[in-house]
Structure formats: structure tokens, C-alpha cells
Structure 1
Amino acid sequence: MTTEPSDRTIILHLLRGAVPERADEISGLWSRYGHAVEVAPSGKGVTMNADASRIRFDTKTIDFFWLLGFSAWRAIEVYSPALVLATVTGMPLDQALNVDAERGQYEFDYRQRVASAQSLIAVEQTADISWPADIPEPTPDRDGLADNQHKAAFDLVALALAFALLHEFRHVMYCAGNDAPSTLPEEEIACDTWAREYMTSGLAAYAREHGHHYPQVHQKRAMGMALAAVIIHAMTPTHAHWGNRQYPPIAERLTAMISGYSLPAGSSFWPLTACLLIALMRQENRPLDIVANSNQEMVEILLDRLR
């Protein structure tokens, strides 16, 4: 007779798989804090939070990560032609977007997918929305996905979810240690910063020991966290985007998660992240009269514009 793994064990395995260089450390922390993992009934809104004794989420929120992550991954096919034109020629980004005659249908389809994902927040169950036909339904079977694009999106969604769970785990640690920052917004930024450092600080030794190319491993982790930033942006209520007693300004959270990576100029992190941020700016009808000579510079300017 086989025993199904508990929800707590499933989440532990996800975190160990996402950050394998710290697998033993994660298991030790898991045992030390003894917190529960509570899968709540799905309902309207988003459920992912923590206190001193447990991390709590619902399956609809996991579906939200999946659907928005797979949708946002497609931003690169929508905006990369204009991004290349802008950074190569010095043309303002908004002009480059207007020159791209094929962007319209791609952008329409992209927005339809993102709207489907965002509609999950307002319903009771995942079954209450129309799932986009070109996005696979959630599955733990990566190898069963149809193509390499879906497998790449799967990997980044898993990293994004791991980041979010590590963020919540830091809340558990703060509650248990009674040493949280003095305000909730400060605690949110501190949890973001801790999760980012936890997922990246041991990479060099891990890559060296296992024969991996460090910049590629670092790039993939950073891309997963950029995707997490977009998902967290979508989860944050619009009224809280500028900050309040509970949340820091969303631009501060995005900056804490995305900025400052010492990745090579040719890393795929930069164009993907630029396209994700362009999509956010277009969604909010922000001006994009930006001139940048590289993808990295474009990311830096876009982050600054979001403030």
C-alpha cells in the first residue's frame, strides 16, 4: 500500500528541487520551524499567506501562478521585435512599437490570455473560467508537456512559485522569532530580498560542483524571479499599487526582485524581463518614450518609470 505525500511534503520537494544546492538546509529549516502547510478551500481572491505556524494557500492560487506564468512567458514573442529595433537603432520604444505592423494581433492574443488569468482572482473555482486553448492545464509532469516552449515556461513557473513560498516561509521565521521589521511594508520587502538572496547566493559553488555553467544557472533563477514579480504585481490589489499600511509600493517590490543582477549583457534575462515590463507598462497605459542602447538599460529605465 502506497501513501500519498502530504501537502507539506509536496511543497518541501518543490523547494528542494528549485534550490537543490540548499536542499539539506531547507529540510533542516522545515524541521526546525515545524510549520504546517494548509491547503484552504478555493474562493474569490488570492490565498497565499503565512503566520508563525503555517503557510496557507489554495489550489486556485497555484493555478493562477501557472496560467499567468504561461501567459506572461509569451510577452517575448509580442514585444521582442520592437525591443530589438529600439535598442539597435536608438529609436524611442513607443515608435518602435508602432512600426511593428504584426504586433497588433499578437498583443491582442496576449492580453486575452492574461485577462483569463486575472479573471481567476474574481471567481470561486478555476472551473469557473474559460481556460485558454493554447495553454496546457497544470500538471506535475514536465516531460509530458508538448514542446520545449511549454517546458521552459514550466521551469520558470516552478521557480516563481518557489520564490513566493520562500517569501512566505520568511514570514513564518519572522513570526516565530518575534523579530519582524517594524512595519508590514518593510517586512514584505525584507521577505522578497531574503527569498531572492536565498535562491541565488549559493549558485556559484553549486554550478562548479555539478559541472554547470554558472551564468546560465543564474540566468534561469533570475528569469524565474522576474516572472514571479509579474505574478505578484497581478496578485496585488490595484488600490495598493502605490503602497498602504499593508503593502509597499509595488514598484519597490519589483525593483527588489528584478534589479541589480550581475548577468552578462547578452543574457536572455534582459530581453525577457524588458518584454515583461513593457507588457505591464502597456497594460497600465504608461508612456514608453524610452531610448535605450541595450536590453539591460531598457530594464533599468522601465523599472524607474514604474515608480
Structure 2
Amino acid sequence: MTTEPSDRTIILHLLRGAVPERADEISGLWSQYGHAVDVAPSAKGVTMNADAKRIQFDTKTIDFFWLLGFSAWRAMEVYMPALLLATSRGIPLDQALNVDAERGQYEFDYKQRIASAQSLIAAEQTADITWPADVPEPTSDRESLGDVQHMAAFDLVAFALAFALLHEFQHVMFCADKSAPSTLPEEEIACDTYARDFMTSGLAAYAKAHGHDFAEVQQKRATGIALASVIIHAMTPTHAHWGNRQYPPIAERLTAMIAGYSLPADSRFWLFTACLLIALMRQENRPLDIVANSNKEMVEILLDRLR
């Protein structure tokens, strides 16, 4: 008779798999703090929070990560042609978007996917929405997806979810140690910073020890964190985007998660992240009269514009 692993063990295995170079460290911390992992009944809104004794989420919120992640993955096919035109010719991004005659239908389909994902927040359970036909059902079996693009999206969603769970684990530690920053917005930024550092600070030694290219490993982790940033953006109530007593301004959180990587300007991280941010700006009908000479510069300007 085999025993099914507990929810707490499943989450620990996910974190160990996402950040293998720190697997022993996370196991030690998991044991030290002895917190529970509580899978709550699905309900309207988003359920992902923590206190000194437990991390809590519901399966609908995990489904939201999956659905929005797989949907946002398509941002490149929508905005990459205009982005490359703008950066190669030094023309404003909005001008390049207008030149791209094929963008209209792609953008319409993309916005439909994002709207479907966002409708999951208001639903009581996943079954209450119509799951998009071109997005696979959530699964823990990566290989069963059978499609290279879907497997790439799977990897990024796994990193995004690991980031969110490490963020919540920092809340656990702050509560248990009575060491939280003095305000809730400061604590949110500190938890984002902890999760990012945990996922990226040991990569050089890990890459060297396992014969991986450091830039490629860093690029993949950073891209997963960028995806986490747009998922967190979608999870944050619109009225809180400019900051309040609970949340810092969402632009500050995105900057803490996305900015400052040492990746080269031609890294696909900057391409993917620029497309994600362009999608956010288009959703909010923000002006995109931006001239940038590289995808990295485009990301930096877009982050500044989101403020």
C-alpha cells in the first residue's frame, strides 16, 4: 500500500525541483519552521496567503497561474514583430504596432485568452468558466503535454508558482520570527526580493557544477519570475495598483522582480518581458510612443512608464 504525499510534501518537492541548487536549504527551512500547507476550498477571488503557522491557497488559484501563464506565453507572437521593427529601425513602438497589419486578429485572440483567465478570479470554482480549447488542462506530468511550446510554458508556470510560494514562505518566516518590516507594503516588497534572490543567487555555481551555460539558466529563471510578475499584477485588485496600506504600487513590485538582471541585451528574457509589458500597457490603453534601441532598453522604459 502506497501512501499519497501530503500537500506540504508536494509543495516542498515543487520548490526543490524549481531551485535544485538550494534543495537542501529549503528542506532545512521547511523542517525548521514546521508550518502547514492548507489547501482551502475554492472560492471567489484569489486565495494565496500565509501566517506564522501555514501557507494557504486553493486549487482555483493554482489553475489561474496555469491559465494566465499559458495565455501570456502567447504575447510574443502578438507583439514581437512590432517590437523588433521598433528597436531595429529606431521608430516609436506605437508606430510599429500600427504598421503590423497582421497584429489585429492575433491581439484580439490574445485579449480573449487573458479575459478568460481573469474571469477565473471572479468565479467560485474552475468549472464555472469555459476553459480555452487551445490551452491544455493543468497537469503535473510535463511530458504528457507532447508539444514543445506547451512544455516551455509549463516550465515557466512552474517557476512562477515557485516564486509565489517562496514569497509566501517569507511571510511565514517574518511572522514566526516577529521580524516583519514595519508596514505591509514594505513586507510585500521584501517577500518579492527574498523569492527572487532565492531563485537566482546561487546559479553560477550550479551551472558550473552541472555543465550548464550560466546565461541560459539565469535567463530561464528570470523569465519565469517575469511571468510571475504579470500574474501577480492580474491578482492585485485594480484599486490597489497605485498602492495602499496593504500593497505597494504594482509598478514597484514589477520593478523589484524584473529590473537589474545582468543578462545581455540580446537575451530572449528581454524580448519575452518586453512583450509581456507591452500587453499590460495595451490592456490599460496606455500610450506607447517609446523609442528604444534594444529590448532591454524597451523593458526599462516600459517599467518606468508603468509608474
Normalising by structure 2, report the TM-score: 1.00
**Equivalences for 1:240-259 in 2 at 5 Å?**
240-259=240-259
**Structure 1: segments with no counterpart, 5+ residues:** none
Secondary structure, aligned partner of 1:57: strand
Secondary structure, aligned partner of 2:136: coil
The amino acid of 1:183's aligned partner reads: T
Give CA-to-partner distance per residue, 1:131-187, whole Å, 9 cap, x none: 000000100010010310000000000000000000000000000000100000000
Q: What is the alpha-carbon distance in structure 2 between the residues aligned to residue 113 and residue 3 of structure 1? A: 38
Cα offset for 1:266? Answer: 1.5
Task: State the match for 2:105 in structure 1.
Answer: 105
Secondary structure, aligned partner of 1:70: helix
The amino acid of 1:113's aligned partner reads: R
Task: State the match for 2:128 in structure 1.
Answer: 128
Give CA-to-partner distance per residue, 1:93-113, whole Å, 9 cap, x none: 000000000000000000000
Give CA-to-partner distance per residue, 1:183-233, whole Å, 9 cap, x none: 000000000001100100000000000100000000000000000000000
Q: What is the alpha-carbon distance in structure 1 between the residues aligned to residue 19 and residue 293 of structure 2? A: 34
Q: Does 1:237 align with 2:237?
A: yes
Q: What is the alpha-carbon distance in structure 2 between the residues aligned to residue 82 and residue 146 of structure 1? A: 30
The amino acid of 1:125's aligned partner reads: Q
Q: Which runs of 4+ in 1 moved over 6 A?
A: none
Q: What is the alpha-carbon distance in structure 2 between the residues aligned to residue 265 and residue 298 of structure 1? A: 10
Cα offset for 1:52? Answer: 0.1
Normalising by structure 1, report the TM-score: 1.00
Q: Does 1:65 align with 2:65?
A: yes
The amino acid of 1:177's aligned partner reads: D
CA RMSD, Structure 1 to Structure 2 (Å): 0.4
**Equivalences for 1:169-248 in 2 at 5 Å?**
169-248=169-248
Q: What is the alpha-carbon distance in structure 2 between the residues aligned to residue 222 and residue 207 of structure 1? A: 15
Q: What is the alpha-carbon distance in structure 2 between the residues aligned to residue 267 and residue 24 of structure 1? A: 30
Q: Does 1:89 align with 2:89?
A: yes
Task: State the match for 1:119 in structure 2.
Answer: 119
Give CA-to-partner distance per residue, 1:48-97, whole Å, 9 cap, x none: 00000000000000000000000000000000000000000011000000
Give CA-to-partner distance per residue, 1:269-290, whole Å, 9 cap, x none: 0000000000000000000000
Task: State the match for 1:145 in structure 2.
Answer: 145
Task: State the match for 2:293 in structure 1.
Answer: 293
